[in-house]
Structure 1
Amino acid sequence: MPVVDYEKYCKMLDNAYKNHYAYPAINVSSLETANAALRGFAEAKSDGIIQVSVGGGAHASGSCVKDSALGAISLAEHIHRMAEQYNVGIALHTDHCKPEKLDSFVYPLIAETEKRRAKGEKNLFNSHMFDGSELSVSKNVEVSTKLLELCAKNQIILEVEAGVVGGEEDGMNNEGVSKDKLYTTPEDMLEFYRALSKIESGRFMLAATFGNVHGVYKPGNVKLKPIILKEGQDALKAEYGDDAHYYLVFHGGSGSSKEEIEETLEYGVIKMNIDTDTQYAFTRPIVDHMFKNYDGVLKIEGEVGNKKVYDPRSYLKAGEIGMAERIKEACNVLRSTGKTIFG
């Protein structure tokens, strides 16, 4: 089916919140990884979110161009076409965008959607993320408010971040951040809601941090405190009533235990970003291919090699399958398997 529209995307998020499951949000940076995401969701019979980061967009545009927005547009257009071949709902999202990248990434993508809408076409992306975690909370809220006003006019959902996700990903290094910033306070969460809930037709997701760290670490190195999410939801209901709630996003989930992930689903997490694990799942079969076909992928001692095994299609296909299998595993853990609302 086509990439979902605004109404269908809202229905996806509402249904996930109501039924305590979440969508894997898969970062892609190439046609192969985009196809792997589509395959994984379809085989799991799960709706899902495919997202492009600043670095992913730059990679997709080619090493000579390095245009994040142009690469993201190219990937999005491919996914729009290919999604029609599958029977699950797919939403398109952009991942972490720091303040200094807004003018070269998010704003051009919103402008592209505005041009499409003017011609009666669908939005290019369904949602965008602004990562203002390096700013003060008040400044973060200020920029987020202006962004949501623009997004609301174009039926785009905005994801914002309160607190800092530790670790390193996509060229952003937060490994030395103060530990107290890894845990969002209920008051910080409320500050976003007070401002953003005032915007007419504005819908937003909140990435609150509870010890999350990008990357994979040995057991015991990451101290997750999912109860922070419940405390934030409880504070919101105390101030605005029982019907008020956040749509929460779980960043830095690679390596988390099944129990920790399931706990967050009970507190309103409806989206979980997955990048590190799917990168490895894509690369591992390619490594196997190279080891097993060492004398075929290289022209050694005057030999000609074996075109069947050095043809990139042979090992990229293996990477696609490996990544799709990891996405199916994520759907199982996040309880979205078999729950497409469009089949």
Structure 2
Amino acid sequence: MLMNMKELLEVADRHHFAVPAFNAGCGQIVKAAIETAEEKHAPVIIEVHPDELEFLGDAFITYCVKAANDTRMPVVIHLDHGSMYSQIERAVRDGYTSVMIDVSRRSFEENVLITGRVVEFAHPLGVSVEAELGTIGIMGNSAEEGTKEITYTVPAEAEKFVRLTGVDALAVGIGTAHGLYPKGYMPKLRLDILEEIKAAVHIPLVLHGGSGNPDEEVAAAVKLGINKVNISSDIKDPFYRQVRKTLQDETLREPNEIYKDAMAVMKKIMGQKMDLLGCTDMAGHYRP
């Protein structure tokens, strides 16, 4: 059941759970995500980054849309970290039901102006919009956007930003980073800032770069108002570790043989994330 993210996350916000957004750089991830959603009776978000779209081609989104329409589970096809208006236009033409415009490294005024323009373009077409205020760090092992220094979201600015842009969901900077954290590094979420942001704005909030954060910290963030959690490294790293292990058998050459075990490993993690975020068995809250 294909839907846009505004509709999906409004339900999550009302019932105090979050939906995982899996970065899908290949068809195996899409298939695994939807199969896991069906097994868990849960909503799911399929994210495809502009770099992934450039690699896979526009027809890949047609496949994603078909897969979403073929399941009874709620599914959103979302553009992750679009940074240019041309990327937003391409995503909408391709059939994405939700887009992210991320110009968080620009000034507050520029962010408001560009995000507002995207909202004006997307909303009449039934496409929801996510933006970012504050910045997400980057560990140097991720293709996603980020900065070396994390800028925390200011709650008062968040309220003003949402009011001026009409955005549907807001990614907030509370101490996370894209990519896998180095060994021995212990990330710490600023849950106090999150609580202040949620009191200031009344739209779903998004957590980017949560791979490696302790489960109890992520669960606490969901209770305080996070309704979407982006997940990339946590599924891709074990997926490709298993692929490398499988390929030690040099006689294998068929994709269904090579990827079978890796998909099983990834689906187990996806299911654990759905349980952690509280969206397992929540599909019944959506329209049939």
User: What is the TM-score with the length of structure 1 in the denominator?
Assistant: 0.77
Q: Does 1:109 align with 2:91?
A: yes
Question: How far off its partner does 1:34 sit?
Answer: 1.4
Indicate if the aligned counterparts of 1:162 and 1:206 stay in contact, CA closer than 8 A: yes
Partners of 1:53 and 1:170 within 8 A in 2: no
Instruction: State the number of aligned residues.
Output: 283
Whether the 8 Å contact between 2:176 and 2:189 is mirrored in structure 1 is yes
Match of 1:161 among 118, 126, 132: 132
Retained in 1: the 8 A contact 2:211–2:233? Answer: yes
Judged with a 3 Å threshold, the aligned counterparts in structure 2 of structure 1 residues 146 and 312 are, in CA distance, closer, same or farther, namely same
Partners of 1:155 and 1:233 in 2: CA distance: 25
CA distance in 2, matches of 1:126, 1:222: 32
Q: Report the equivalent of 1:210.
A: 174
The residue type paired with residue 185 of structure 1 is V
Query: 2:242 matched to 1:285?
Result: yes
- Residue 251 to residue 83, structure 1, CA distance change in 2 (3 Å): same
Cα distance in 1 for partners of 2:81, 2:6 equals 21
1:340 equivalenced with 2:283 (yes/no): yes
What is aligned with 2:102?
131
Alpha-carbon distance in structure 2 between the residues aligned to 1:85 and 1:150: 28
Give the deviation of 1:267 after TM superposition: 2.1
Q: For residue 241 of structure 1, what is the aligned residue in structure 2?
A: none
Structure possessing the higher radius of gyration over alpha carbons: 1
- In structure 1, the partner of 2:222 is 265
Q: Which moved more, 1:82-91 or 1:149-158?
A: 82-91
Match of 2:112 in 1: 141
Match of 1:319 among 262, 266, 270: 262
Letter in 2 for 1:80: V
**1:82 counterpart = 2:67:** yes
Is residue 23 from structure 1 mapped to residue 19 from structure 2 by the alignment? yes
| 8 Å Cα contact 2:81/2:144 also seen in 1 | no
Match of 1:276 in 2: 233
Structure 2 counterpart of 1:263, one-letter code: A
Match of 1:3 in 2: 2
In the alignment, the residues of structure 1 paired with residue 73 and residue 176 of structure 2 have an alpha-carbon distance, to the nearest angstrom, of 29
Question: Normalising by the residue count of structure 2, what TM-score does the alignment of the two structures yield?
Answer: 0.91
- 1:212 is displaced (CA, Å) by 1.0
Q: Is the 8 A contact 2:82 2:88 kept in 1?
A: yes
Deviates more, 1:84-93 or 1:268-277: 84-93
Contact 1:23 1:272 in 2 (8 A): yes
CA RMSD of aligned residues (A): 1.9
Deviations 1:166-211 (CA, angstroms, capped at 9, x unpaired): 014225452x32x4x1x111122122122024xxxxx510001101
CA change 1:232–1:172 in 2 (3 A) is closer
1:249 equivalenced with 2:206 (yes/no): yes
What is the letter of the counterpart of residue 200 of structure 2? Answer: A
SS of the aligned residue for 1:39 comes to helix
Which one is further off, 282-291 or 42-51? 282-291
Residues 123-166 of structure 1 show CA distances to partners (whole Å, capped at 9, x for unaligned) of x1111001111101111111101110111111111000001100
Cα distance between partner residues in 1 of 2:168 and 2:200: 18
Instruction: Letter of the 1:272 partner, please give it.
Output: V
SS of the aligned residue for 1:92 comes to strand
* TM superposition shift of 1:219: 5.2
CA contact (8 A) 2:81 2:145 kept: no
CA spacing shift, 1:321–1:153, aligned 2, 3 Å: same
Q: Runs of 5+ in structure 2 lacking a partner?
A: none
Q: Distance in 2 between matches of 1:212 and 1:86?
A: 32
Letter in 2 for 1:150: F
Equivalent-residue separation in structure 2 for 1:219 and 1:261 (angstroms): 19
* 1:234 correspondence with 2:230: no
Give the aligned partner of residue 43 of structure 2. 47
Task: Measure the CA separation in 1 of the matches of 2:110 and 2:220.
Answer: 31
Structure 2 partner of 1:119: none
1:92, distance to aligned residue in structure 2 (A): 0.7
